Each structure stands twice: as structure tokens, then as C-alpha cells.
Chain A
């Protein structure tokens, strides 16, 4: 919105042309999201406390967590409001990728909201059943994946429609451009052609998988949000490079016209995340709940699909991956052999039970994420 206003004023006052730069709008987006969080945060926490929207703590978890019972939850709504308002203010709203990420974020946030609402407000301990949650996530993920399969290959909306119609007319067997291939990091020219169905399946797995991975990681104060901020900021850099024809050619990355605008969205995610961390740092005054965790994970997944960095997301989001794997391994091991691999899953509880303080686990996981993000960013140059 502000971009449109600045462009209108720029007709008379040339200085306002500076707002066309993605870099400036990204910095302003981060600060705007932060300010929104600082303004709305305390009020939201007061309202959540007033309405007794408090976290219930599982009694089979670490005993030190029992003190968290009653802490306001569903604070992810604060993050979503910050991201959406900031993006609407600073991003170019003519850009279809911005809308895809916003709608995916909102959609997954709504699924999380329904689950949290049933658990916390309606006091239904089951919330949304795992099956229904997966169905809703899959619906949104599939629609996004199908749209992105064609829009990543087509630089404009009219070409997207032509490609989509060609796919339907050919009996669902049209080839996509090399931009839609799976990019293998560290190699200049190695990429794996996915085809339409391969792209859709991979994108679906990335979006739904990262959404649930962030949700599983959200178990300690600040554990999920800081890695989300770091990975989001790094994806913003990838988006900027992918959107620039000169940079992407120089760095042997696919040029995705329009992807650069996602830098503004990533900056909004980073700013909103830091603003939320202000209140979520140990001891947390508010938790994000499923509404925040599912939405943020889906946003990261959608952005990674658009900028064609799925494997790099897997690397940078290593903490999320390990947390998810620890749960899968624990469940599989217990069901098959009756024995546990970890003292408790997800893996952050395992380290707590080993004697690490909660804050130690959180900060050490942040450090690991920082290293993984650096490693992921090095793929820009190491080819």
C-alpha cells in the first residue's frame, strides 16, 4: 500500500523513488513488524490472561515445565497480525508470490487457531484431531503446490494461465521449465527435473512438513521462534538473489521473476519473530501456540519452494528436522521394540532430562541454527 502511495508521490517528488528499492522496504518492514509487536504485544497478553487462555501442560513431560501451566498461549496471532499488516504496507501487492505466501500463512494459521481454540477456550483436550488437522493442511498445501508448479515457470499471470491450460489439455503431462527443477546445492549445473507431479508432491511435503516441524520444535521458551527468524532472514537473501537476473546468473541460481519481493515478506517474518521473542524469551510471558507454529513453518516452506531452495531449507532448518526425526524415531522404536531411543521426545526434552537447563538447550539450539544458516548461505557462493 505504501509502495503504491510512494509511487504516486514520486511522480512529483523524485526522492520517493527510493521506496521502489526492495532493500529499503525490507529494512522498514522489519522495523514496522517490530513496532507492531511492541504496541500490540502487551495488550494481547493482558487480554489472553483476562480470558484465561492459558497453556495446559502435559503431566508426562519434564516436571520443570509444570510451572508453565496457565501461561497465555495463542500468541502466534500477534506474529500473524504483525506479518500481515507489515506485508500489506510494504510489499508490492501486485506480486502473486506475496499473495501465495500470505494466504498459505493465513490458512495454516487458521488451522492452528481452530486447534488451539478447541483445546484452550473450549477446554477440549483433543482439540482438532490429528487426521482432520492433516487433511486441512494437505488441502492448503496441495492447492499452493499446484499453483506454484506453474507460476514458478511462468513469469506472468497470462503465461501461467496458458501453461496451466496446456497441462490440462495435454492430459496432465506437460513439461515444466528448468526453473522448476530441484536445485542441488554446491553444484553449478546439477539439478533434478521433477515434472509437474514431482514438483507438486515435493512442494506439498516441504510446506506441510516444515509446518509440522516448527510445531514440534515449539516446546521451550524461544526455541522455535529464533531459528524461524534466522532461517526466514536467510531465505530473504535467497529470494533477493533469485529475483535479480544479474545476481542469479552470476551465482548459477534460477532466476524467478518476482521472487525478490519475498525479501519484504521474509523481513516482516524476521521483525515479527524478534518482536514476539521479546515476550517469549525465558521465562515466557506468552506462547505462540499452533496458530503461530503451523503458520510460520508453512510460510518458510512456501518461500523455499518459490526460490527453489528446498534442500537448503532442509539444511538451514536442521534443528526443525532433527526435532521431527527424534519424534519419528522414538515412536517407531517404541512401537517396534518397546524401547525408547531418547529419554523423551522431541529431542529438546531429552537434553533437559540429561541435566541441561531449559535456557541452555534453547541458546545451544540457536547457535546450531546459526551455524546451519551460515552453511546454507555458503551454497550461494560455493558451487
Chain B
């Protein structure tokens, strides 16, 4: 294997690692956003249900 090929493989591997880490971080923060929207929806549903009694 030539030195150029070896360096190319090393660059590709590091790029792939960086992409995986970025995707993982995006996935992790995406989950937090999803749960936070669920919490907001739950509150709005509770508020809506309260209109049954608050008249």
C-alpha cells in the first residue's frame, strides 16, 4: 500500500468517526426536543380537559 493510499484511508476513517459522532449528538438532542414537545402537549391537554369543569 502506498503512503498516499494509507493517508487517504486514515482521513476517510476520521471523517466517518466525526460523522457518526455528529449524527449521534443530533440524535441525542433530537430525543430531548421530542420529549419536551410531549410534555408541552400533555400540559395543553390538561388545560383543555380543565375546560370541562371551569365554566
Residues of chain A having any CB pair with chain B under 8 Å: 18, 21, 23-24, 27, 30-31, 34, 222, 274, 277-278, 281-283, 359
Which 10 residue pairs across A and B have the least CB separation, nearest first? A281-B35, A283-B28, A27-B50, A23-B53, A281-B32, A282-B31, A274-B39, A359-B31, A278-B39, A278-B36
Which residues of chain A are near B43, meaning CB under 8 Å?
Answer: 30-31, 34, 274
Q: Are B28 and A277 in contact (CB under 8 A)?
A: no
Which residues of chain A are near B28, meaning CB under 8 Å?
Answer: 282-283
- Name the prevailing secondary structure of the B interface residues: helix
Which residues of chain A are near B39, meaning CB under 8 Å?
Answer: 274, 277-278
Which residues of chain A are near B54, meaning CB under 8 Å?
Answer: 18, 24
Question: Chain A nearest CB: distance from B31 CB in Å?
Answer: 5
Q: Are A281 and B36 in contact (CB under 8 A)?
A: yes
Question: Chain A nearest CB: distance from B45 CB in Å?
Answer: 11
Which residues of chain B are near A281, meaning CB under 8 Å?
Answer: 31-32, 35-36
Which residues of chain B are near A24, meaning CB under 8 Å?
Answer: 50, 53-54
Which residues of chain B are near A31, meaning CB under 8 Å?
Answer: 43
B46 close to chain A: CB less than 8 A: yes
Which residues of chain B are near A21, meaning CB under 8 Å?
Answer: 53
How far does the alpha carbon of A31 sit from the alpha carbon of B50 in the complex, in Å? 12
Which residues of chain B are near A278, meaning CB under 8 Å?
Answer: 35-36, 39
- Name the prevailing secondary structure of the A interface residues: helix
Count how many chain B residues have C-beta atoms less than 8 Å from C-beta atoms of the other chain.
Answer: 14
Excluding A30-B43, A277-B39, A283-B29, 11 further A-B contacts by CB distance (< 8 Å) are A21-B53, A24-B50, A24-B53, A27-B46, A27-B50, A274-B42, A274-B43, A282-B31, A282-B32, A282-B35, A283-B32
How far does the alpha carbon of A18 sit from the alpha carbon of B54 in the complex, in Å? 9
Q: List 20 A-B contacts (CB under 8 A).
A: A18-B54, A21-B53, A23-B50, A23-B53, A24-B54, A27-B47, A27-B50, A30-B43, A34-B43, A222-B35, A274-B39, A274-B43, A278-B35, A278-B39, A281-B31, A281-B36, A282-B32, A282-B35, A283-B29, A359-B31
Which chain A residue shows the least CB distance to B49?
Answer: A27
How far does the alpha carbon of A222 sit from the alpha carbon of B31 in the complex, in Å? 11
Which residues of chain B are near A277, meaning CB under 8 Å?
Answer: 35, 39
Question: Chain B nearest CB: distance from A347 CB in Å?
Answer: 21
How far does the alpha carbon of A314 sit from the alpha carbon of B50 in the complex, in Å? 29
B window 17-55: CB within 8 A of A: 28-29, 31-32, 35-36, 39, 42-43, 46-47, 50, 53-54
Which residues of chain A are near B53, meaning CB under 8 Å?
Answer: 21, 23-24
How far does the alpha carbon of A244 sit from the alpha carbon of B34 in the complex, in Å? 38
Which chain A residue shows the least CB distance to B29?
Answer: A283
How far does the alpha carbon of A34 sit from the alpha carbon of B53 in the complex, in Å? 21
Which chain A residue shows the least CB distance to B53?
Answer: A23
Contact of B46 among A30, A222, A283 (CB under 8 A): A30
How far does the alpha carbon of A274 sit from the alpha carbon of B45 in the complex, in Å? 14
How far does the alpha carbon of A222 sit from the alpha carbon of B54 in the complex, in Å? 32
How far does the alpha carbon of A26 sit from the alpha carbon of B9 in the complex, in Å? 62
Which chain A residue shows the least CB distance to B42?
Answer: A274
Question: Chain B nearest CB: distance from A365 CB in Å?
Answer: 14
